[in-house]
Structure 1
Amino acid sequence: MAINRTDPPLAADELTSLLAFLDYHRDTLRLKADGLDAEQLNRTLAPSTLTLGGLLKHLSLVESNWLGVILLGRAEAEPWASVDWDADVDWDFHSAVDDTPESLRTLFDETVAESGRIIEEVVASDGPAALDRLSVVSSRKEGRQFSLRWILLHLIEEYARHNGHADLLRESIDGQTGE
């Protein structure tokens, strides 16, 4: 699959800007994992145990959880629903070693597509007030609901942070650097 990462627009409405930055960071992660085989996707950079495959799986969980579970109140989807999180709180990172590169990429792409459908559903329902939509699930810490705006900004932050990790991992694998 050719990855065509598009720079976010310099001037756009808030929703368009947020979604463009989120797509930019999703595509950045795709680029960092592009063309790598299973051994490469599972390679670590000491002293960390983080892998590019683990990042693909983790960010799939993050999107599924924030948009499906927290925003809409849906039941947790598979493969997440049957995980014993008490046994391994970082199962998403650790279990990626057992997945093929194709299954990791498919999980990521399908999760991103579902996230897009969820956002479209909220925008269609709420119109201009979509970013103010409050989550069904409240914060455990404060007991307050999250706005879609907050969730999108959090997803951008999550990707940006992990894309920094992905930069280092990819460079250690084959020397590839860049955005």
Structure 2
Amino acid sequence: MPSDQVHPVDRVRPPESAGERETLTGMLDYLRDSVVNKVAGLTSAQAFANAVPASALTPAGLVKHLTGVERFWFAIDFAGQDIDWPWTDDNPHGNFTLTDSDTLPALVAAYQAECARSRSITAAASSLDDVAVGDGMTFNLRYALTHLIEETSRHLGHLDLLRESTDGSTGE
């Protein structure tokens, strides 16, 4: 596979009989790796194409959006870090918009780095009951993990459809 493409990663199935924290973080990590694998092997043209004409969604745009979601929920809202906001003023909760300088490998690398930051924040929390410290936030870590499982799963469904429409690839 050319170096300008994304390579698949090994996924570890989440534990089926573990504590709540291990189950939630294991499931989210499995889904995060699934996002990477779903776009692995796509050409730039495929990653940036609107494969389903009625929709503006692209595989690359979904990866960029999920990067913003990770940053927003864990680093900014939960941990209260003073870092760049992932959304623009004209699209305050989207970030599906791609720029001419975006590449799929760079978007995936940014996603993986943001997931690593989220993992670190999650691991540093003493309990799933820890409450977010971001300005005006009242949710706990359990809620953030559950929300990210839902959001990542929903967008994996979109990626499934986009990938199948693009090159016929199906599967996990």
Structure 2 unmatched runs, 5+? 1-6
Alignment equivalent of 2:130, drawn from 108, 113, 133: 133
Deviation sequence 1:142-164 (CA, Å, 0-9, x none): xx600000000000000111010
Alignment correspondent of 1:153:
146
Q: Give the whole-Å Cα distance in 2 for the aligned partners of 1:145 and 1:90.
A: 19
Structure 1 unmatched runs, 5+? none
Give the 5 Å matches for 1:24-43. 24-43=30-49
Alignment correspondent of 2:25:
19
Q: Give the whole-Å Cα distance in 2 for the aligned partners of 1:137 and 1:48.
A: 33
Alignment correspondent of 1:56:
63
Q: Which amino acid aligns with 1:137?
A: G
Q: Give the whole-Å Cα distance in 1 for the aligned partners of 2:156 and 2:100.
A: 19
Q: Give the whole-Å Cα distance in 2 for the aligned partners of 1:3 and 1:24.
A: 10
Alignment correspondent of 1:112:
115
CA deviation after TM superposition for structure 1 residue 90, in Å: 5.9
Q: Give the whole-Å Cα distance in 2 for the aligned partners of 1:151 and 1:55.
A: 19
3-state SS of 2:97 partner: helix
Q: Give the whole-Å Cα distance in 2 for the aligned partners of 1:134 and 1:95.
A: 33
Q: Give structure 1 regions of 4+ aligned residues with deviation exceeding 3 angstroms.
A: 88-91
Contact 2:132 2:138 (C-alpha < 8 Å) held by counterparts: yes
TM-score (norm 2): 0.88
Alignment correspondent of 2:76:
69
Are residues 2 and 32 of structure 1, via their aligned partners in 2, closer, same or farther at CA, if it must alter by over 3 Å? closer
Task: Give RMSD over aligned pairs.
Answer: 1.8
3-state SS of 2:139 partner: strand
Alignment equivalent of 1:7, drawn from 13, 19, 34: 13
Counting matched residue pairs gives 165
Q: Give the whole-Å Cα distance in 1 for the aligned partners of 2:129 and 2:103.
A: 38
Alignment correspondent of 1:164:
157
CA deviation after TM superposition for structure 1 residue 97, in Å: 5.8
Are residues 90 and 13 of structure 1, via their aligned partners in 2, closer, same or farther at CA, if it must alter by over 3 Å? closer
More strand by share: 1
Q: Which amino acid aligns with 1:67?
A: F
Contact 1:70 1:136 (C-alpha < 8 Å) held by counterparts: yes
Q: Give the whole-Å Cα distance in 2 for the aligned partners of 1:60 and 1:147.
A: 20
Contact 1:65 1:76 (C-alpha < 8 Å) held by counterparts: no
Q: Which amino acid aligns with 1:104?
A: L
More helix by share: 1
Q: Percent identity over the alignment? A: 38
